[in-house]
A and B are shown apart, each in its own frame.
Chain A
């Protein structure tokens, strides 16, 4: 087990280096001069441009820039953006909000998704199963920004059940955004649970459990579910990435002041330092979550960690 964890951690390092390099490369290629519009209506003086470029290492060759950036990254320094604020401080304000949103979405995803999946899998081919399968298919097909706009209109503006927008990211303001954010993944989690449960219900050990005279609740609840949930847990961990992407859209619709809307604003203002910093942190969190899921997978299924 210890060896498995160490191998997993070591495997993450090249991926992290590769992604930061890729992200840095992409943003470095960003067209447009970052000093544009920095000096009002007039073009900036050459002295200012030179000092600006020196300050942000823009005058050095690309690879040197990247290595300097990487060095700072190791010290937890994500740089200072063009407004003079450190990216770390900008993110520190917004991360708790997005984290709250993502955790709420994950909980909704896990609870609703697994419950619906079990309900469908237990009654395969019956009405409940068909209803849930069709509902999930519809949820998967409707893009998140459509669900978001409609939910905001119907539940927020018309029926006044939820606040229309978020002002300071309190729990009640984040419920509707979290539901919208989770909608797509709920559908996938439900389908995966159903497939996995149906497959396992055919297994020999389930027949044995039944033949021993165990109750249906125990056969499914203890024997089958434990095995069926392994891929679901992996999926929920991996879905964290799509949650982070979806948060950009959801936060925009509901005016949530989180990392997603910060990233979107930074992209619009060509604030490269903030963009790189934010995406690097998002990808890092995503990789760490996946690492934890992998380790959990090893605990749940001992075959995984032994090879």
Chain B
């Protein structure tokens, strides 16, 4: 579990290891000095000796930011995420040929790339490049909204359960167990079939349904983390001090508990965001997520993955798959960089 005190402990032990490095060897070291090698190769050298003053002046977020910005992986994933967010918000910025996603020329169906359509044409003779660009919106919208939705539900209930405890905690935890017991994709399929969408359903309604379905199934993850994290923070001195000074519970929760307990939630939400995007694509692939007039990578991959098409026109499958995978990759990488920055123990 990510624990704030771990950071200090861990940095201390790193300092000890660093000390051991400079100390004269005792001669009983194995030929492969695994531990010192680790300590040397840690990517982010921190000013270890100043730790005491540092942790007083900087918040966890500032510390995390300083660690993150020195890692190339952070900048790569941040750049990818920025591009995909831009693509989702303003797809027209990326289209230079002037074609709309509805543009089609049946004569060109399944043809390979040419000078205008650099990714080739799909079944309907539509420009795959344009449709892939416009497809970003669905994935990003579902991913971001679901991660936010699950985080909000999980944080609110987790804080309540962890802070108030007793009967409420039992009730919430058992409820979370029930939702946790239904695998994400299985539950997603069930919910999407119950609240079925048709080709006529408005775009945002369908997106909203997918978001709701995945948030309802995803919140127990956040809830469990938040609850245990709140329970760790609750007995600390500053909370007691705030209580003794007469701060009301809402203020204690808002300005002491949540800021100190939220770190693991941020990490898990970022990593989960990638898997929500993948699940949305899978639902659309199975034909029960977004439906045909809507543009989505999942639908495009589903259309292209009939075996005859895969054999003769693999470009139809390749490009949407590539974009989908890159998006998922970007968010998972970002989540890992954030986790490493907030929890040095896992480095």
A141 touches B325 (CB 8 A): yes
A18 touches B175 (CB 8 A): yes
Which residues of B are interface residues toward A (Cβ below 8 A)?
Answer: 13, 28-30, 32, 34-35, 37-38, 41, 174-175, 177-179, 181-186, 189-191, 193-196, 274, 278, 281-282, 285-286, 288, 301-302, 305, 307, 310-311, 314, 317, 321, 324-326, 328-329, 332-333, 345-346
Cα of A248 to Cα of B196 in the assembled complex, Å: 19
Cα of A23 to Cα of B196 in the assembled complex, Å: 16
A283 touches B281 (CB 8 A): no
Does A128 interact with chain B (Cβ within 8 Å)?
no
Question: 13 A-B residue contacts at CB 8 Å?
Answer: A14-B178, A32-B196, A125-B37, A140-B329, A146-B321, A149-B305, A150-B317, A152-B307, A153-B310, A207-B35, A213-B28, A264-B189, A283-B186
B41 touches A164 (CB 8 A): no
Cβ contacts under 8 Å, A19 to chain B: 178, 181-182
Q: Smallest CB–CB gap between B6 and chain A, Å? A: 11
Tell me which residues from 129 to 159 in chain A have a Cβ below 8 Å from any Cβ of chain B: 137-138, 140-146, 149-150, 152-153, 157
Interchain CB contact (< 8 A) of A287 among B181, B191, B282, B305 = B181
Cα of A258 to Cα of B311 in the assembled complex, Å: 26
Closest 5 CB pairs of A and B: A245-B185, A18-B178, A141-B329, A241-B183, A149-B305
A286 touches B190 (CB 8 A): no
Cβ contacts under 8 Å, A38 to chain B: none
Contacts known (A26-B190, A30-B194); A199 close to B30, Cβ less than 8 A: no
B307 touches A22 (CB 8 A): no
Cα of A34 to Cα of B286 in the assembled complex, Å: 22
Cβ contacts under 8 Å, B184 to chain A: 242, 245
Q: Smallest CB–CB gap between A236 and chain B, Å? A: 15
B174 touches A30 (CB 8 A): no
Contacts known (A137-B333, A153-B311, A207-B35); A143 close to B193, Cβ less than 8 A: no
Interchain CB contact (< 8 A) of B194 among A26, A125, A164 = A26
Does A249 interact with chain B (Cβ within 8 Å)?
yes
Judged by DSSP, the binding face of B is helix
B183 touches A210 (CB 8 A): no
Contacts known (A141-B325, A142-B321); A246 close to B190, Cβ less than 8 A: no
B185 touches A141 (CB 8 A): no
A199 touches B190 (CB 8 A): no
Q: Smallest CB–CB gap between A248 and chain B, Å? A: 7
Interchain CB contact (< 8 A) of A138 among B175, B189, B317, B329 = B329
Q: Smallest CB–CB gap between B215 and chain A, Å? A: 15
Q: Smallest CB–CB gap between A268 and chain B, Å? A: 9
Q: Which single residue of chain B is at the shortest CB-CB distance from A246? A: B185
Q: Smallest CB–CB gap between A158 and chain B, Å? A: 8
